[in-house]
C-alpha cells in the first residue's frame, strides 16, 4: 500500500478525490453518498488518494473511513477538525493513512504534539495553511505535506490568485496540495504550474452527475490551447467548446496580432504570446519565442512569471519541419506541441507525443485572426 505522501509525488499532477456529503458553505452536495462506492470508483478513475470527511457538519463519520478501507487499497486521508492525539488513534484503527491538521485551529505546541503522534502511528499529515503566516508555520514545523487552501474559512470566499502565489512559495522539497475551488482543468493546470504536486477536489466531484468522469476530465492531458485569438466572440466559442488555454499573439509581424489580451472566462487561462522580447500585458502565462531573421524561432518556452514551466515544440516559421513530431517525442518535461496541428491530425500527434498541451491557430481560421467556429469545436473535441 503506497503511503499518502509517496502517492502524491507521482509524475504529473495527482488528485485527492474527496467524499463529502455536504458543505457548511454550499449545503447538501450528495447527501446519500456511499463512501465505499465513491472511494473504489475514485481510485479506479485515477485518484492518487481519497479524502473522507469524518465531521458531522459535513455529513461524515469515522465509519466512512472504515467503509472505504474495506474496498480499496488507495491511501485514505481523514479530514476533520482534530485537536487531540486520541482522535488520531481512532482514525488509524479505522484504516486512515493520513490526517488533516488545520493550523488555523492548532497553535505550534498542539501541532507539534499532533505531528509527533501521527508519526508514531505511521500516519502522514496534510498540514493545511490559508495564508502566508500559516504557511511559514507549516514550513517551520517541518511538515512534509502542505496543503494550501484557497477558501477563507470565515467568509468561504475563494481567492485562487493568492493561493497560487502561496503554492509557488512553498519549498520544493515539500509535497504541495492545492485545495478548494478547483472545478475546471485550467484550475488544476494553474496549480500544477505554480508548483502543486496534487489538487484536492471535493465539491466539484460531489455535484457532478458522474463524479468519476469529472475526476478523469480534471486530470486528463493534453490541455487544449486555441491561439491567434483576436475577437471576444472567438474566445467565447473556444471556452464553450472546452479549450483550457486562450492564446493572444502580441508580436508585431503577424496578421493574427491581438489588440490586447482579451478577457477569458474563469475556466480558461490566458496566454500572451511574444517574439523577441517579453512584454508586460496582464496574462496568466506567457509564451516566448526568440526572433530569428525577422520572425519567430522554431521553438519557444511557456512562462509563469519569470519561471519556465514548459517547452513549446513548434515548427519553423512558414516552413516544413519533417522532424517536428520526432523532436517533440524526444523532448523531456512538460511539452506544449504546436505547429501544423488541426482537427484532422491532432489525435495522431497526441498518440505519438503524449504532450502536456496542444496548440493550434491558423488551421482553425477562415482568415488570419478570424476563427472558424466549427473547426475550433472540432479541434477541441479531437484533442480532448
Q: Catalytic amino acids? A: 18, 20, 79, 128, 149, 179-180
CA-closest candidate to residue 104, choices 130, 122, 80, 124: 130
DSSP letter assigned to residue 234: H
Give me the helices (H) in 122-210, please.
132-140, 160-169, 185-194, 203-207
Nearest-angstrom CA–CA distance, 168 and 176 = 9
- Burial (CB < 10 A; 0-12, 13-18, 19+), residue 310, is buried
Q: For residue 190, give Cα distances in angstroms to 47, 160, 169, 196, 382.
A: 19, 9, 14, 9, 23
Q: For residue 269, give Cα distances in angstroms to 95, 202, 261, 263, 286.
A: 39, 22, 11, 10, 10
Do 227 and 362 contact (CB within 8 A), yes or no?
Answer: no
Q: b/e string for 248-274 if b means 16 or more Cβ within 10 A? A: bbbbeebebbbeebbebeeebbbbbbb
CB atoms within 10 A of CB 154: 8
DSSP letter assigned to residue 360: E
Q: What is the CA radius of gyration of the chain?
A: 22
The 3-state DSSP class for residue 96 equals coil
Q: Where are the beta strands (DSSP E) in 278-333?
A: 285-292, 295-304, 307-313
Nearest-angstrom CA–CA distance, 167 and 183 = 18
Nearest-angstrom CA–CA distance, 11 and 261 = 32
Do 115 and 96 contact (CB within 8 A), yes or no?
Answer: no
Amino acid at each position: 500500500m503506497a503511503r499518502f505522501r509517496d502517492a502524491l509525488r507521482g509524475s504529473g499532477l495527482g488528485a485527492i478525490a474527496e467524499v463529502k456529503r455536504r458543505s457548511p458553505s454550499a449545503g447538501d452536495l450528495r447527501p446519500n453518498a456511499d463512501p465505499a462506492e465513491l472511494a473504489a470508483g475514485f481510485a479506479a478513475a485515477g485518484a492518487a488518494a481519497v479524502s473522507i470527511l469524518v465531521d458531522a457538519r459535513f455529513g461524515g463519520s469515522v465509519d466512512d473511513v472504515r467503509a472505504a478501507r474495506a474496498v480499496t487499497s488507495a491511501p485514505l486521508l481523514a479530514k476533520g477538525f482534530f485537536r487531540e492525539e486520541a482522535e488520531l488513534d481512532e482514525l488509524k484503527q479505522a484504516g486512515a493513512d493520513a490526517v488533516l491538521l488545520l493550523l488555523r485551529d492548532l497553535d505550534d505546541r498542539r501541532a507539534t504534539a499532533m505531528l509527533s503522534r501521527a508519526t508514531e502511528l505511521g500516519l502522514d499529515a496534510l498540514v493545511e495553511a490559508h495564508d502566508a503566516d500559516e504557511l511559514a508555520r507549516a514550513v517551520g514545523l517541518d511538515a512534509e505535506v502542505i496543503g494550501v487552501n484557497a477558501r477563507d474559512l470565515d467568509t468561504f470566499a475563494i481567492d485562487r490568485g493568492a493561493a497560487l502565489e502561496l503554492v509557488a512559495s512553498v519549498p520544493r522539497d515539500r509535497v504541495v496540495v492545492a485545495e478548494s475551488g478547483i472545478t475546471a482543468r485550467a484550475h488544476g493546470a494553474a496549480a500544477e504550474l505554480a508548483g502543486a504536486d496534487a489538487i484536492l477536489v471535493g465539491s466539484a466531484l460531489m455535484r457532478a452527475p458522474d463524479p468519476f468522469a469529472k475526476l478523469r476530465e480534471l486530470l486528463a492531458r493534453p490541455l487544449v490551447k486555441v491561439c491567434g485569438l483576436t475577437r471576444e466572440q472567438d474566445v467565447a466559442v473556444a471556452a464553450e467548446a472546452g479549450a483550457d488555454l486562450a492564446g493572444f499573439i502580441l508580436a508585431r509581424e503577424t496578421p493574427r496580432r491581438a489588440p490586447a489580451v482579451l478577457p477569458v472566462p474563469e475556466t480558461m487561462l490566458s496566454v500572451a504570446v511574444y517574439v523577441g522580447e517579453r512584454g508586460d500585458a496582464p496574462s496568466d502565462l506567457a509564451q516566448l519565442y526568440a526572433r530569428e531573421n525577422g520572425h519567430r524561432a522554431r521553438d519557444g518556452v511557456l512562462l509563469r512569471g519569470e519561471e519556465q514551466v514548459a517547452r513549446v515544440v513548434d515548427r519553423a516559421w512558414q516552413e516544413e519541419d519533417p522532424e517536428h513530431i520526432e523532436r517533440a517525442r524526444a523532448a523531456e518535461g512538460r511539452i506544449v506541441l504546436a505547429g501544423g496541428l488541426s482537427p484532422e491530425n491532432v489525435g495522431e500527434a497526441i498518440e505519438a507525443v503524449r504532450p502536456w498541451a496542444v496548440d493550434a491557430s491558423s488551421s482553425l481560421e477562415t482568415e488570419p485572426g478570424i476563427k472558424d467556429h466549427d473547426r475550433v469545436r472540432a479541434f477541441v473535441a479531437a484533442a480532448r
